[in-house]
Amino acid sequence: MYRYFVSAVCGIFISISSFAQETGPDVILKEISENNRQLKAYQSFIASQNLSNRTENNLQDPQVSAFYLPFGEHETDDYYEYQISQRFEFPTVYGARGKRIAKQKDLLELEYKSLRQEVLLEAKLQLLELQNLQQREEIENERVAQAKQVYDQIQRLYDAEQIGILELNKARIAWLQQQFEIDQIEISIRNTLMELQQLNGGNPIQEEQIRFFDDSEIADLQMLWEEKLSGDAEIQMLNSQQAVAEQQVKLEKNKILPDLTIGYNYQGVNSSNYSGFLGGLSIPLWNSNNKVKAAKANLGYTQDNTRAKTAEFYTRFQENYQQYQLLKRKYEEYRETFDDLKSEELLFKAYNLGEFSFLDYYREVEFYREAYNNMLEMQKELFQLKAALLKHQL
């Protein structure tokens, strides 16, 4: 019996643990990546674009020609002829174009990955916004309860004719202001949940699903940049565009080679006929003029653009990283200070002991509450900046 009881308890804990894992932010982001309408639409676009690119490597349609010449002055039978021919580019052209099509496919996949990272980053920022609102809601509920307790005390003093109506009204206004803060936060929570629902393809996300993000350390600047180079789709797209341009140069060089034609010809006149095979090639004098030069010029532009954009990304990355480190230090100083002071709790105790008048208490507590709200905003900004730095991991 004891064994069964232990097994049941263990099963409950495992279920709770699984539930916690299944409702974390990573699972929500995974759900959004599967349901987002923009991502689904782009997947359809990729499929159509890949098929369209593949058609560029199709053979030309075979050509059938027929001649029947019954008119004119002639003593023999009518002349007739038919011909079947197939024209195609030099075989190496198809191989070069096929490689370019493969690289275009890789580029499209990176474009999708880049869009996915942007969508998931937006979703993560919304989740962080929701996390901040949940924290504020919890704190504001405590402040409303505290303001109500103060108001009730002032009401009793007013009923006992120990204070005037002005002090009672101020206490009531302070209580109403705290309630208004709660209402504003609840509206913001609903709006944020609607934004998340839109990102999730119209599927609702329950507020209870959100779990707090951990504030783990990030790697040093150079290590994180190396990781970003290999994981950030926006940066990888630059290299992929350069690879497509390089392959286009190779394709244009192969297209200088002549096109080939093979076929079958039949001629018949005066009860006689002739048949046999035909072959031919084009002389590439005009069609390929300047195309290799144009492809090389485009490659040069792509290489320069890759270097310029990568340098721009690195500069912006350094700025964000330094801003994150500065903000993290300031936030930790704020948090340690508030953890040590417990100012609101001490002020409330002092007020209950009669060491502060209501006006003095309210003035002091407003100062600390504003500072604490600023700390929560700093925490949100810190987490959002970290999310942007780690976008490549999404």
Q: Please state the rounded mean pLDDT for residues 3-29.
A: 49
Residue 9's pLDDT is 35
Provide the percentage of residues in the chain whose pLDDT is more than 70: 84
Query: Amino acid identity, residue 202?
Result: G
* Greater model confidence, 18 or 202: 202
For residues 139-163, give the mean pLDDT: 80
* pLDDT above 70: residue 203: yes
Q: What confidence score (pLDDT) does residue 373 get?
A: 85
Predicted pLDDT at 37: 93
Can you read off the two tokens belonging to residue 157? 């003093």
Predicted confidence at residue 356, as pLDDT, reads: 65
Q: What pLDDT, on a 0 to 100 scale, did the predictor assign at position 2?
A: 37
- Name, of 133-147, 209-223, 334-348, the range with top average pLDDT: 133-147
Q: Residues 5-31: what's their mean pLDDT?
A: 53
> If residue 119 lies in a helix (H) or strand (E), which one and from where to where?
helix 91-159
Average pLDDT over every residue of 338-356: 65
Question: What would the two tokens of residue 191 be?
Answer: 């709006």
Angle at which helices 37-55 and 91-159 cross, to 10°:
170
Tell me which residue has tokens 């407003």. 366
How large is the average pLDDT for residues 211-225? 79
pLDDT in tens, 283-312: 887 877 888 999 999 999 999 999 999 999
342: left (phi over 0), alpha (psi -120 to 50) or beta: left
**Stronger pLDDT, 71 or 392, i.e. the higher one:** 392
Q: How many CA atoms lie within 13 A of 122 on its CB side?
A: 17
Among the residue ranges 172-181, 295-304, 312-321, the one predicted with the least confidence is 172-181
Q: Looking at the 3D structure of the chain, how many domains does it have?
A: 1
DSSP code of 43?
H
**Residue spans of beta strands (DSSP E) within 236-373:** 260-269, 272-281
* pLDDT score at 290: 87
- What is d(CA 146, CA 139) in angstroms, rounded to the nearest whole number? 11
**What per-residue confidence (pLDDT) applies to 84?**
92
pLDDT of residue 1: 39
Q: What is the mean pLDDT of the chain?
A: 83
Determine the straight-line distance between the first and last CA of the chain, rounded to whole angstroms. 47
The pLDDT value recorded for residue 343 is 64
What is the model's pLDDT at position 273?
81
Q: What is the CATH number of the domain that holds 141?
A: 1.20.1600.10
Position 349 scores a pLDDT of: 67
| pLDDT at residue 39, rounded to an integer | 94
User: Which residue would you say has higher pLDDT here, 269 or 309?
Assistant: 309
**Dihedral (Cα; 390, 34, 134, 325), 10-degree rounding:** 0
**Across the strands, what pairs with 81?**
67, 267
Position 10 scores a pLDDT of: 41
Banded model confidence at residue 17, pLDDT cuts 50, 70, 90: very low
Q: What is the pLDDT of residue 15?
A: 39
Q: pLDDT band for position 342 (50/70/90)?
A: low
Q: pLDDT: is 21 or 218 the higher one?
A: 218
Q: Which residues pair with 63 in a beta bridge?
A: 85
Using CB atoms within 10 A of its CB, is residue 84 exposed (0-12), middle (13-18) or buried (19+)? middle
Average pLDDT value for residue range 10-31: 56
What pLDDT was estimated at residue 92?
92
Q: Over 60: is that where the pLDDT of 133 sits?
A: yes
Q: Determine the distance from the C-alpha atom of residue 373 to the mean position of all C-alpha atoms in its chain, rounded to a whole number.
A: 29
pLDDT of residue 329 exceeding 80: yes
**Looking at residues 361-371, what average pLDDT do you find?**
75
Q: What is the pTM of this model?
A: 0.82
State the pLDDT at residue 79.
78
pLDDT band at 19 (very low <50, low <70, confident <90, very high): very low
Give me the phi and psi of 24, to 5 degrees please. -75, 170
Q: Domain containing 364: what range?
A: 2-393
Mean pLDDT of 243-257: 92
209-235: burial string, b at 16+ Cβ within 10 Å, e else: bbbebeeeeeeeeeebbeebeebbbbb
- For residue 262, what are the β-bridge partners? 86, 279
